């Protein structure tokens, strides 16, 4: 995109968003980070990032945030599936009304195989706007192990069941960096790159890596999808989110998330962050 392009990053304070902000800063891009909480955003993003107030529930706030923006990098807000989609749709539609010419949406790898997935639904909402788009489709995030599964790992257990299925886990920061790179470079319009890590691991291998990183034994203890249900309920997920997760883990068990794509490496110009590197860096969480 031209050097004069101004980008709005929505979702800038999450792991994906911070990866995007770091990449945009490194590339000298003109951008602003949208936020509901400027104090928190400043503490996370540092003093050199322009902040823009954005409340996706407020049409006036949406319109003001999108004014003068050429491109949107949209990391959908964390919310229940239906609400997540509606908030993302509001933001994308406000950007289109403001004259934004291009949107990069972070969706999910499930979009390529499940037309009913929330990721694919969000993509269709953007497609309906008839402006240039790029969809970033990441695999499961490594960061899940120090967020959703943190307490389980602290107890020395991985209690979600994926059988012997492997997953090419991806670091969320790499996803954000790739989204920024795809938005800045020409030729990515109308593309939906699959973003995976450089290795496919099963849960036993993941447990061994976590054991080395923490200095404590972590074991893969789950033996059924009911173990997954119990673990995710204990983590506070809703029943709908629990069942959606179990459905995805069944796909992992069947090998559906094991493929390794070269597209992340191509976008970043370097190797993806490995799970071992992620685990060492985040060992203080466990």
Whether 4 has a pLDDT exceeding 80, the answer reads no
Whether 3 has a pLDDT exceeding 80, the answer reads no
Q: What is the pLDDT of residue 77?
A: 86
Q: Which class is domain 6-199+257-285?
A: alpha beta
Residues 59-79 pLDDT 10s: 999 999 999 999 999 999 887
Place of tokens 């069942």: 243
Domain boundaries, the chain: 6-199+257-285
- pTM score, two decimals? 0.94
Strand ranges across the sheet with 30-35: 51-53, 30-35, 6-10, 71-74, 102-106, 132-138, 194-195
Residues 109-131 pLDDT 10s: 999 988 989 999 999 999 999 89
- C-alpha distances (whole Å) from 217 to each of 44, 199, 235, 266 are 32, 22, 21, 36
Task: Label residue 206 exposed, middle or buried (CB < 10 Å: 0-12, 13-18, 19+).
Answer: buried
Take residue 73 and report the two structure tokens written for it: 């990098």
Residues 218-251 pLDDT 10s: 999 999 999 999 988 988 888 988 998 899 999 9
User: Quick one: DSSP state of residue 10?
Assistant: E
Residues 181-212 pLDDT 10s: 999 998 999 999 999 999 999 999 999 999 99
Q: What is the pLDDT of residue 32?
A: 97
Whether 81 has a pLDDT exceeding 70, the answer reads no
CA 261, 170, 159: angle at the middle one, nearest 5? Answer: 120
Residues 139-194 pLDDT 10s: 999 999 999 899 999 999 999 999 999 999 999 999 999 999 999 998 999 999 99
User: Quick one: DSSP state of residue 14?
Assistant: S
The strand pair at 102-106 and 71-74 is best described as parallel
């Amino acid at each position: 995109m031209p050097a004069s392009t101004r980008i709005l990053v929505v979702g800038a304070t999450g792991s994906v968003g911070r990866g995007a902000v770091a990449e945009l800063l490194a590339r000298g891009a003109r951008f602003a980070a949208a936020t509901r909480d400027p104090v928190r955003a400043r503490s996370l993003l540092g003093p050199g990032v322009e902040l823009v107030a954005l409340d996706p529930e407020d049409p006036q706030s949406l319109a003001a945030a999108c004014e003068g923006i050429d491109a949107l990098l949209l990391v959908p807000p964390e919310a229940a599936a239906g609400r997540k989609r509606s908030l993302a749709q509001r933001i994308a539609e406000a950007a289109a009304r403001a004259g934004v010419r291009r949107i990069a949406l972070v969706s999910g790898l499930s979009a390529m195989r499940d037309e009913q997935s929330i990721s694919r639904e969000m993509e269709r909402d953007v497609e309906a706007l008839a402006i240039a788009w790029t969809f970033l489709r990441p695999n499961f995030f490594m960061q899940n192990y120090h967020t959703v599964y943190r307490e389980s790992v602290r107890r020395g257990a991985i209690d979600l069941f994926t059988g012997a299925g492997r997953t090419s886990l991806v670091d969320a920061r790499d996803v954000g960096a790739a989204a920024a790179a795809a938005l800045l470079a020409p030729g990515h319009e109308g593309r939906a790159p699959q973003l995976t890590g450089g290795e496919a691991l099963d849960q036993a291998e993941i447990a061994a890596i976590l054991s080395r990183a923490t200095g404590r034994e972590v074991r893969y203890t789950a033996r059924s999808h009911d173990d997954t249900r119990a673990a995710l309920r204990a983590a506070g997920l809703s029943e709908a989110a629990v069942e959606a997760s179990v459905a995805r883990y069944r796909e992992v068990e069947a090998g559906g998330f094991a493929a390794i794509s070269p597209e992340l490496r191509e976008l970043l110009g370097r190797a993806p962050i490995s799970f071992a590197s992620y685990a060492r860096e985040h060992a203080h969480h466990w």
